[in-house]
Amino acid sequence: MSTLLVINSSANTGDSVSRTLIDDAVGQFLAAAPGIKVVRRDLGTTPVPHLTTANLAGVRGTPATEEEHSARALSDLLISELRTADTVVIAAPMYNFSVPTSLRSWFDFVLRAGETFKYSEAGPEGLLKGRKVVVLTSRGGLYSEGPGAAADFQEPYLRHLLGFVGITDVTFIHAEKIGYGPDARAAAIASARGQIAKVASTFSTVAA
């Protein structure tokens, strides 16, 4: 059975644009491929801890303390969720020109040598090839064109991290100008929904 991993990262559970879009995407993916298994990870409501001196060895080192073992167990779980997924959809608001720290922490726990990437003579190699990722961003301003493009540290950063673990089939759908007023917000959501529908229309073959 194909598995869809659904990752939320907005700290807002009220009128979050990225949460609205990811719900829409999951609904459309399920309509296209009703048999898929959906696994959810909500980093906004259940954050992955930041790396500190108390837990670092659990992720990058040899765990010894209870806290380090707990970090290792969480890292193993998050990696297994990603490894098991055929398709991943990530809702990523732009926070301070990049991603929420909750999503950054998720990557800190998921990027582990020997598990999701390895080093060889040829340099780093991602070990999670073959997966498809759809990233739904929500942004107060405009970054896909114009002067704001130079300040987009979100899409390039996510592309690089995903590519580092071998995932290069990545589609970005941006809902931009959310902060420009209700009309701009509604137009951005409608546009993103249209793009989600196009991705979903190909999903039945992806999930087969």
Ligand X SMILES: Cc1cc2nc3c(=O)[nH]c(=O)nc-3n(C[C@H](O)[C@H](O)[C@H](O)COP(=O)(O)O)c2cc1C
Residues in touch with ligand X (CB under 6 A): 10, 12, 16-19, 93-97, 138-141, 178-179
For ligand X, give the closer residue by CB, 58 or 93. Answer: 93
Could you tell me the two tokens for 62? 């040899």
Q: How far is CA 146 from CA 110, 151, 162, 206, in A?
A: 33, 10, 26, 34
For ligand X, give the closer residue by CB, 179 or 194. Answer: 179
For ligand X, give the closer residue by CB, 110 or 136. Answer: 136
Tokens 């995407």 sit on residue:
25
Q: Residues 162, 127: contact at Cβ < 8 Å?
A: no
For ligand X, give the closer residue by CB, 49 or 141. Answer: 141
For ligand X, give the closer residue by CB, 9 or 87. Answer: 9
Torsion of CA 143, 146, 148, 150, to 10 degrees: 100
H/E run at residue 206: helix 203-207
Report the nearest approach of ligand X to the CB of residue 206 (Å): 25
Burial class (CB in 10 A: 0-12, 13-18, 19+), 146: exposed
For ligand X, give the closer residue by CB, 95 or 203. Answer: 95
Following DSSP, what letter does each residue of 12-72 receive, concatenated?
Answer: --SS-HHHHHHHHHHHHHHHH-TT-EEEEEETTTSPPPPP-TTTHHHHSS---SHHHHHHH
